[in-house]
Amino acid sequence: MSIYITRVKAIGVHGRFDFDEELHEGMNIFYGLNGAGKTTFLQIIANILNSDFERFQHITFKYIEVIYSDGDVLKLDYHTQKDTFIIYRNSLRKTSEIPKDFDNRVFKNPKIVHLGGFAPLVKSLYIPAFRLIVDAWFYSRTNDIYNNNEERNQEKTLYARQVFGEFVPVIDYPSVTEVVENLTEDLKDAKLKLATSEREIFLNYMSGFHNLSLDESNQNLNTDRSIAIEYKDTKKVIAELQNNQFQNEPESLNQFIPQIDNLFLQVSNSTHQNSTNGILILKTYHKLFNNLLEARRQCLKDLEAYLSAVNRFLVEKKLVFEKKDDDSIEPTFCFKYLNTSLNESLIDDVQSLSSGERQIIAFIHACYFAKDKIILIDEPETSLHIDWQRELLDCISPYSHQFIICTHSPSVPADYSDYLRKLKISHTDESVWDENYIDSIENDESEDMEDIEVAI
């Protein structure tokens, strides 16, 4: 079972407020007014999940505690006298100490350096409220060359921190341009996986035909209704394979259709003795093409689910995989704009999309391909029509074991009222801050704790 967060507690955040929230698997939706601490709440969680502890040099706090579903506990405690904060993880009986020196420690590299023993327990995806700003900035730099997605994310993170502060977590939320590029790479990976599966299926097909020929039960084969049903089903499956938008050469399957038609005609007009081999071949074809179809569905299901999800939001346009024009050599992911009055279509790229459409395309892609990450979303309602707001959570909910969402729009969680609650922020009281948090930690765990590491 995937690990998730069960509790987040923080004292003295920004020197002003505390919070203590219990979380559960699935949806967790918090609401509050602007300035109520929602963004800080999410950023604390994101930086903890990423084990990006250097971020905490850029925020004032006294004590932070995160409890995981497996019982692990991670604590950060600011030690006033030393001007350091201590990181502690109970499952490892390990601590680490980081100087909280704002003036002399300036970090320009957003790459996370994990302290020994403090690698993330579970990965996260942070979707910030300012995502459209980052998207617009990144789009203006389309001529920049990056070796990989990590370099892109580092550039976006540096920009976001320059504008919104150094406590901003790593930004791996994609721009729309990246989504189109990533879809192309995802399709290449899926096709490589599919090619391997198809080779295995054809090998099994050959051995399967041999086994069918040796099976004594095949001596009782006849041309009853089941053969006719399998014949029709085989042709239906071939048609579905041909009509798949990702099929490179759909006409390559045409060669099998007359063979199958002739076999069925021969079987239907033959005596029992002469029809056995034909029935065996028809049955093998039926099994072969059904296995090919199932392999294709499995390899392409994420891409097809993503396209289906996006296109249910778009109006008079679709995200498709096809040739842009007659001069195009290869199909690509692009947007088909439908002119219903003229019964025409126009292929175009992302420039013609509205801000809401751009957000839907990037938002759903980020969630669909999060791969078991905890998903943190700040203001999912940004730039979205009220109808889209209501549909959005339904669309993404199957793709993570835990969502932590902050909003001030009552429309977003309309169908998730059981998971909606106000983010409880209380004014902190410095007079009751315990200056000896770390002393109690060291005393409780002194028998098992390793030496304190100082991160320089």
Domain boundaries, the chain: 5-172+371-454, 174-370
pLDDT at 148 over 50: yes
Predicted pLDDT at 454: 41
User: The domain 5-172+371-454 is classified under which CATH number: 1.50.40, 3.80.10, 3.40.50, 2.60.120?
Assistant: 3.40.50
Its pTM surpasses 0.75: yes
pLDDT higher than 90, residue 32: no
Per-residue confidence (pLDDT) for residue 22, from 0 to 100? 96
Mean pLDDT within 368-384: 89
Q: In this predicted structure, what is the pLDDT of residue 35? A: 83
pLDDT of residue 456: 32
- pLDDT of amino acid 127: 94
177-205 pLDDT, tens digit per residue, is 888 888 988 899 999 998 899 888 888 77
How large is the angle between the packed helices 225-243 and 256-269, nearest 10 degrees? 170
Write down the pLDDT at residue 405.
Answer: 94
Residue 345's pLDDT is what? 66
Q: Can you give the pLDDT at residue 100?
A: 58
Lowest-confidence segment of 64-68, 251-255, 367-371, 405-409 by average pLDDT: 251-255
Q: Say how far apart CA 20 and CA 358 lie, in whole Å.
A: 35
Closest Cα partner for 244 from 293, 196, 286?
Answer: 293
Is pLDDT above 70 for 446? no
What pLDDT is recorded for position 23?
Answer: 97
Residue 144 pLDDT exceeds 80: no
